[in-house]
Amino acid sequence: MREHDIQNAIREHVSKNRLGVLFRANVGEAWTGSEIQHNPDGSITIKDPRRLRTGLPVGFSDLFGVGQDGKAVFVEVKSQKGKPTPEQINFLQQMQRQGAYVGTARSTTDADCIFNGFGRIT
């Protein structure tokens, strides 16, 4: 199952079982510049290009929200073989130190553990 499919399954599971509320964290990257030229072939040429990054800090969890008890929740979603990056582990550890429910989820069962305070960061 793809990571995106696992995210959707977890969000639906949390909602249906009234565990709390989760949101998907969106980030992006694009190019901008002093002038954008639209070419006849549909492509564009950017004068003085520079990278533009939007969204949340590196390592921020895929899903975040609030549990029924009011505690913050951060869920890093991974496929069965996926591993969190050092930045993702660091972010989860920092949030855990602040009292949030955190963990890596590969299934809805993992999400249940996170919402019950037994999430694992692996």
Which 3 state secondary structure label does DSSP give 90? helix
Which 3 state secondary structure label does DSSP give 42? coil
On the CB side of 51, how many CA atoms lie within 13 Å of its CA? 3
CATH topology of domain 3-25+60-115: Trna Endonuclease; Chain: A, domain 1 (3.40.1350)
Residues 6+ apart with CB under 8 A from 85: 59
Distance of CA 75 to the CA centre of its chain: 7
Give pLDDT tens digits for 37-89. 999 999 999 999 999 988 898 899 999 999 999 999 999 999 999 999 999 99
Which 3 state secondary structure label does DSSP give 65? strand
pLDDT band for position 29 (50/70/90)? confident
Mean pLDDT of 24-45: 92
Predicted confidence at residue 89, as pLDDT, reads 97
Across the chain, what does the average pLDDT equal?
95
Portions of the chain given CATH number 3.40.1350.10: 3-25+60-115
Predicted confidence at residue 37, as pLDDT, reads 95
